[in-house]
Chains A and B, each alone.
Chain A
Amino acid sequence: MFRLKNTDITQPVKGRSLWQDARQRLIHNKAALVSATLLLTISLLVIFAPLFSPYALDDTDWEMMSIAPDWDSQHYFGTDALGRDLFVRTMHGGRISLLIGVVATLVSLVIGISYGAIAGYLGGRVDAIMMRVVDILYAMPFMFFVILLMVFFGRNILLIFIAIGAINWLDMARIVRGQTISLKNKEFIEAAEACGSSPLKIIRRHILPNLLGIVAVYVTLTIPQVILVESFLSFLGLGIQEPNTSWGALVNEGAQEMETAAWMLIFPASFLALTLFCFNFIGDGLRDAIDPKDR
């Protein structure tokens, strides 16, 4: 029962904004919280852990080829077929995988949001044409074009960012456009227009911040997809150039040596799976927090 005696009725009642509501819900979502912490730990590990190992990413060692994890020699995760330390390589692989995940998602974010917001806000003929283009592009077997690009133009990490980012922006554009359209008709936009703000300013100051929620959800759900796409490219032999590596490339090498050197698969695969799990849980949590109806 509420203790009325202790409430101070002279103070104004502090309202709770929608953001605060969302944050409360998010914090109470245990899975999301644990995932966020794990993700942070993994990120710190991949950035700093290699500093604590005496081995470099490409240090071959002919005496120590394919040995199991061994504490004394400081090969905590064992070594690969060329004697390179798997712990350091897994960490470096993590850097690349996470980098690709974040940057490629950012690429698709930038393209998708601008495209969708402009189309949604301007409406009419412009919107119709822009969405027509999206429809046309939707049916493209994108993966094949990415493969063609990688095969022909080499294993450039910049190319990977752009190519993978270009696969995902369509969904983002559609969602953003949908949200923009529903926002466009709200009163506060009408007020801004009445004040004489230019469309660009309205998009930037009013529409974009209101898209933040749904965009955040999409970003956290796209990153794991991107990481998987990169691992698929590695499987085809089109991923990152040696001696750099990614989790996908490591998992691919490990899958071939499953029976003889299981640690080569287990460590990178666990990191990969764990990271993807975390992103998915956080994405779900964000989605629940922002739109409780969907829970």
Chain B
Amino acid sequence: MLRYIIKRLLGMIPTLLVIITLAFFLIRLAPGGPFDTDKTLPEEIQLNLDKKYHLDESLLQQYFRYLWQLLQGDFGPSFHYQDYSVNELIETGFPVSLQLGLSAMILALLVGLSLGTLAALKQNTSADHLVMSFSMTGVSIPNFVIAPLLLLLFAVHLDWLPAGGWDSSRPSTIILPVLCLALPQIAYIARLTRASMIEVLHSNYIRTAFAKGLPMRLILMRHALKPTLLPIVSYLGPATAGVITGSVVIEKIFSIPGLGRFFVLGALNRDYTLVMGVVIFYGLLIILFNFIVDLLYAWLDPKVRY
């Protein structure tokens, strides 16, 4: 197992390198620079800015300089938010995005698993159809429609919840964004769980357990749960990616100071370092998460052993 872990960790390096290189050259190829404004910039000042940020060096030189800084854990100064470095911006944005994303995933798993199990147990009854239609709706309506709808309902008309902002000390600000972010995942996980559980429940060893007279709860918890979870664990990788992308929408609609907003603004402002920082950060997260998922899969399925 240890060898596998080390092998995987080493394997992450080429992936990271590809991400860094691609992002670096892509954003620098884009027309327009970080200091273009609709006011005139005198030539002398432009030259000074270029020198300060090493934009006067060749692309390759800048690339290696960036890699070297990265190795020391320095993402560089933000080109646009000139009072801050990218490290500082990521430090403020990441905990928020993490809270948001993690809460959404946990909610999605809990609710999705429960709903899917319910539907599987009561297959072809009205409960099943209800869950499935809800699930279909969740994947068919984009969340930039659902979010403003819920915002209008709960924050403006009913005034039960705040309309925006993120304050970890006030749980009421967290409810709506997490819910909106989790909904598409709940829908998908419910579907997966239902399909998977139905298959598991029809297998021979479960039939044996029924024949033995074991109570349903015991069957579910001890025998059926682990194999049911397998396809869901496989889905967790793409689910994280989905939550990360979804958070861009949610953060915009609810004015949440997370990383997603930094990414979009960074791209629009040609804030090279900020965009690189966010992309690399997300890439790292996804890689790490996939790795954890693989380990989880091995634990759940005794047939898979490294």
Contacts and interface: CB of A to CB of B under 8 A. Distances in A.
Q: Does a CB–CB distance below 8 Å link A and B in the complex?
A: yes
B142 A248 contact: yes
Residue in B142, B263, B264, B278 with the greatest tally of chain A CB atoms within 10 Å: B142
Size bracket of the B interface: 35 or more
Nearest to A248: B142
Contacts of B18: 136-137, 140
Contact of A152 (B15, B30, B148, B286): B30
Interface string A112-156: 000000000000000000000001111111111101110111000
Q: Is the interface of B mostly helix, strand, loop or mixed?
A: helix
Interface string B9-22: 00110110011001
A245 to B, nearest CB: 15
B198 A295 contact: yes
A258 B152 contact: yes
Interface string B146-185: 0011001000000000000000000000000000000000
21 contacts: A135-B11, A135-B15, A136-B14, A137-B18, A139-B283, A140-B18, A141-B279, A141-B283, A143-B241, A145-B26, A148-B26, A149-B26, A152-B27, A152-B29, A153-B30, A228-B142, A231-B142, A236-B248, A256-B148, A272-B140, A276-B140
Interface in A219-253: 224, 228, 231-232, 235-236, 248, 251-252
Interface of B: 11-12, 14-15, 18-19, 22-23, 26-27, 29-31, 136-137, 139-142, 144-145, 148-149, 152, 195, 198-199, 237, 241, 244-245, 248-249, 263-264, 267-268, 275, 278-279, 282-283, 286-287, 290
Nearest to B137: A273
Q: Is the interface of A mostly helix, strand, loop or mixed?
A: helix
- 4 closest residue pairs by CB, A with B: A152-B30, A276-B140, A139-B287, A136-B15
Interface of A: 135-145, 147-149, 151-153, 224, 228, 231-232, 235-236, 248, 251-252, 255-256, 258-259, 265, 269, 272-273, 276-277, 280-281, 293-295
